[in-house]
Amino acid sequence: MSTRGEAFAGLSVALITPFRDGQVDVEALQRQVEFQIHAGTTCVCPVGTTGESPTLSHPEHERVIAAVVEAAAGKVKVMAGTGSNSTEEALRLTRWAEQAGADAALVVAPYYNKPTQEGMYLHYKALAEAVGIPICVYNIPGRTGKNIEPETIARMAELPNITMVKEATGSMDQASQIIAMTDLTVLSGDDSLTLPLLAIGGRGVVSVVGNLVPGDMIQLLDAFRSGDIAAAQRWHKRLFPLCRDMLGLATNPIPIKTAMRLVGRDRGELRMPMTPLDADQEAKLRGTLSQYGIL
């Protein structure tokens, strides 16, 4: 099955933004990109939810995108987070990402102000007509407060630059409708739902747990792609405890940043209002990482 955003099928990793003493740690960020290149990841996604984009200043947002593009050096695709609840701000960020060399833009639905479905459509239409890079519609109503309905996404699919959907509604019915109604590449926005989404026609995942074990998520995707469903199920079962903790212990990216600190790949610094796990939560996470064999 071929879809319009097929070049981005597979594993995309929602990168964390490393901090050192409250400032963006560019060197650490670029090491994370190099780690993903060596793992064989298809695409890296800076300054999304996992990258703490809501707490980055505009200059920091741009610096992170530029640093990731530089480190990627064409060896891995870059899908930069450029969404906003302001259409003008999203336009500026998306244009900037294109000029910086990003391969695509990950655009979250306008949050807080809860536009109508027509407002959603016109927001994305404005972006799609302003840039030449592909746009991935990031639908996560649990964060934004408003679902982009499948019929609206089907309208967006008529715009040439809208090629992908990051499906984070948690609804297989919604995902099924989008897959049935469009030729968009649908990517899972929830690690634990990757295999179910693949089963109904999804093409990959924008992964949080991929910061830790990208190779294992690639194994799941490759097993499914090759028709070895039993192997894909085994990888799903193995990955599930990690996936559960990354989104279940506390709000993303608190658990993944803690995990990255525990395994020695990040300092684990967060920006307020994000705060560290409490002692009990960290102990549970330690247990999961130890059981998985990466601590």
Kindly give, in sequence order, each residue whose CB lies less than 8 Å from that of residue 68, ignoring residues fewer than 6 positions away.
15, 29, 30, 33, 44, 46, 78, 80
Catalytic residue among 77, 124, 146, 166: 166
CA neighbor of 259 nearest in space, from 206, 185, 209, 193: 209
Catalytic site includes residue 166:
yes
CA neighbor of 32 nearest in space, from 260, 271, 274, 251: 260
Catalytic residue among 138, 146, 257, 292: 138
d(CA 260, CA 248): 16
CB-neighbour burial class of residue 149 (10 A; exposed 0-12, middle 13-18, buried 19+): middle
d(CA 274, CA 95): 29
In this structure, are residues 43 and 103 in contact, taking their beta carbons and an 8 Å threshold?
A: yes
Beta-carbon neighbour count of residue 7 at 10 Å? 16
In the numeric block, the tokens 């959907």 are attached to 165
Residue positions annotated with a catalytic role: 138, 166
